[in-house]
Homo-oligomer: A and B are copies of this chain.
Amino acid sequence: MATPKKFYSAKNYKLEDSIGYLLRMLTQQVSREVEKRMAEHGLTDAQWKPLLFIRQGRGETAADLARSTCIDTGAVTRMLDRIEDKGLIQRVRSEQDRRVVNLALTDEGRQLADKVVPDVLAGVLNETLAGFSTAEYEQFKSLLQRALQNIGKLEDEGSAS
């Protein structure tokens, strides 16, 4: 593969007009806005994730959830502790495989996952994309996906040594 076009060089690297800077800032601001709105419902920005994933069947167990969300299994264990304390999930030891603990939403957890979480996320995203045409929206998605694919390939190469 030929060396790709170089948008940045180490010599004159300026933070302000770097894609990385914009990307970080945007993610940070969106997170903060979500955090603020979730707080009214007793949730943090990080806690809606497990709820939604469990609800969608992509987090049957802790290990499953860790894989789905790309989060460390240790971090997942502690996150589940916190949202279990809040009464949003229940842990049930599996009978088939006594290593695994099956995750289930409580009524309150399911309500949050079904109503509050999608509402807040959709709201923040719509406001973030205010003034975007449908074409611009699609292109934005496409550019993000392509960048994600590029960085994903790096991961693969790194692990395949």
A contact residues vs B (CB 8 Å cutoff)? 4-11, 13, 15, 17-20, 22-30, 32-33, 36, 52-53, 56, 70, 115, 118-119, 121-134, 136-137, 139-141, 143-148, 150-152, 154-155, 158
Contact = CB atoms under 8 A, between A and B. Distances in A.
Contacts of A123: 10
A18 to B, nearest CB: 6
Given A22-B145, A26-B23, A129 B150 contact: yes
> Main SS of chain A's interface residues?
helix
Given A22-B148, A150-B127, A151-B30, A7 B118 contact: no
A138 to B, nearest CB: 10
Contact of A7 (B17, B53, B126, B154): B126
A18 B125 contact: yes
